[in-house]
Amino acid sequence: MTKNAIVLGAGIVGVSAAIHLQRRGRQVTLIDRKDPGSETSFGNAGLIQREGVAPYGFPQQLSLLLRYALNNRIDAHYHLNTLPSQLAFLARYWWNSNARRHALITRAYAPLIQHSIAEHKDLIEASEAQALIRRNGWVKIFRTEAKRDEALAEAALWQNEFGVDYDSLTSADIARMEPDMTGDFAGGIHWRDPWSVLDPHALTSVYRGYFESLGGRFVTGDAASFGPFGSGWKIMTAEGPLEADDAVIALGPWAALATRRLGYFFPLGVKRGYHMHYAAKGDAVLNSWMLDAERGYLLAPMRRGIRLTTGAEFATLDAPKTPVQLDRAEAVARTIFPLGARLDPEPWMGARPCTPDMMPIIGKAPRHQGLWFAFGHAHHGLTLGPVTGRVLAELITGEKPFIDITAYSPERFNP
């Protein structure tokens, strides 16, 4: 008899898990309150970051922390009134970002990243999404020689240990790559391995279509109605109550609330981010995904226009938008590239779900049968969606996961 499964959350992680479960013979229903890819997966920088073997750590230098405390930067912003409620998470995040601990976390995290391109390639080809993908990497530019040299030294270490490929760029190289960009740059790094996505929302939607072609289905529903029922699980949907043998919670930043109702506590923090699309002035063209590393924003040539993305905003999940980072970033970006008019009616905002040890939560719920978790991917949700979907589906269906996922176990927070 075919087992049923439900996947709560239709972002890139949930859609990928649904695909891999459907491929393995489960009858899967994907459930979300909105269309697939409409929340956090909608607004990322559009990078499949094969080079991103080291998760983003919390600054350790006192001088840098003092500069962040002024709260006037592009790469980080915080809501002062919500800091007390976030101090416990931030303290653990800071502690895990110590050089020694961060190096250990990087080695545990890297296997997911190392398979990110291959697992996306599988789904891209299966869903015929090739037109949405570029395979020419992305560029990080530096304004000072000190930051350039520091980044190049780190890149050399990553290349040696994790096999990432890169080119060192001079200011002349940058000028040749981006003739419409101006600025006194000290150089840069061209990461060669990553792929970029011209429309992240469209990619998730195409993956959703492939899932449905396999026999899966998507219905709207609210995770607030989800709970145990007999030996399985039940949720109310737009089509009525739905029961299943297995359930996957892939709700991104909303996972903490959904799992708390079931007796679990995950110290899930939130890093909010903003984006805006712009026209280019005249005949100007941006050729590459370009990170202004020392200012903390990224420009990406996407289908909707040139997307400008900000760094992290530390605030509660439901706090009102405060897109001050976007305004700051736009002012700087206009000095290096001829951005035209804003194309969106208002800034987009999304929330990245983050754990204090910077690794996702992937695996079986410790105290329930048939319940599985897949969330907490922070800045790399798009990158890690397909590889997470595969390892989780292998675990659920009794296969041995193709990589060791012990380090991502939910039991590290809920024994």
The answer to whether the beta carbons of residues 59 and 311 sit under 8 Å apart is no
What integer pLDDT is reported at residue 10 of this predicted model? 98
Q: What per-residue string of b and e applies to 261-270 under the rule 16 or more CB within 10 Å gives b?
A: eeebebebbb
- Determine the number of helices (DSSP H) and then strands (DSSP E) in the chain: 11, 23
To the nearest whole percent, how much of the chain has pLDDT over 70? 100
The pLDDT tens digits for 385-397 are 999 999 999 999 9
**CA 358-364-370 angle, 5° bins:** 145
Give the fold, CATH level 3, of 59-103+131-193+268-354: D-Amino Acid Oxidase; Chain A, domain 2 (3.30.9)
Radius of gyration for the alpha carbons in the chain, expressed in angstroms and rounded: 21
| Ranges in the chain annotated CATH 3.30.9.10 | 59-103+131-193+268-354
Instruction: Return the minimum-mean-pLDDT range out of 64-68, 144-148, 376-380.
Output: 64-68
Q: Judging by DSSP bridges, how do beta strands 138-142 and 290-292 pair with one another?
A: parallel
**232-256: per-residue pLDDT in tens?**
999 999 999 999 999 999 999 999 9
User: Using CA atoms, how far apart are residues 215 and 345, in angstroms rounded to an integer?
Assistant: 37
Listed in sequence order, the DSSP H helices in 41-185 are 62-69, 83-96, 99-114, 116-127, 145-162, 171-177
pLDDT of residue 2: 76
Mean pLDDT of 158-173: 98
Residue 178, CA atoms < 13 Å, CB-side half-sphere? 27
* CATH hierarchy code of domain 4-41+201-266+357-412: 3.50.50.60
CA-based nearest residue to 43, from 354, 339, 296, 271: 271
pLDDT in tens, 271-330: 999 999 999 999 999 999 999 999 999 999 999 999 999 999 999 999 999 999 999 999
What is the pLDDT, as a whole number, of residue 1? Answer: 59
Q: Find where tokens 């800034």 sit.
A: 347
Give the integer Cα–Cα distance in Å for 127 and 389: 15
- AA letter at 60: Q
- Assess contact for 413 and 43: CB atoms under 8 A: no
Token pair of 25 as six digits: 């013979």
Comma-separated ranges of CATH 3.50.50.60 domains in the chain: 4-41+201-266+357-412
The whole-chain average pLDDT of the chain stands at 96
Name, in order, each residue with C-beta under 8 angstroms of 364's C-beta and a sequence gap of 6 or more. Answer: 371, 372, 373, 395, 410
- Per residue in 169-212, pLDDT (tens digit) is 999 999 999 999 999 999 999 999 999 999 999 999 999 999 99
Alpha-carbon distance 4 to 85, whole Å? 39
What backbone phi and psi angles, to 5 degrees, belong to 246? Answer: -125, 150
Nearest one of 335, 311, 307 to 323, comparing CA atoms: 311
Res. 62: pLDDT tops 90 = no
Q: What are phi and psi of 136, to 5 degrees?
A: -115, 25
Tell me, rounded to whole angstroms, the distance of Cα 11 from its chain centroid.
Answer: 10
Confidence category of residue 64, pLDDT binned at 50, 70, 90: confident
Report the candidate in 346, 35, 344, 52 with the shortest Cα–Cα distance to residue 201: 35
Q: What is the pLDDT of residue 170?
A: 98
From the centroid of its chain, how far is CA 218?
22
Q: What is the reported pLDDT for 65?
A: 87
| Structural tokens at position 108 | 């545990």
Whether 258 has a pLDDT exceeding 80, the answer reads: yes
C-alpha distance from residue 44 to each of 104, 235, 299, 374 (Å): 27, 29, 11, 18
Model pLDDT for residues 65-78, shown as the tens digit of each residue: 898 899 999 999 99
Distance CA(197)–CA(355), nearest Å, equals 25
pLDDT at 157 over 90: yes
Query: Tens digits of per-residue pLDDT, 209-238?
Result: 999 999 999 999 999 999 999 999 999 999
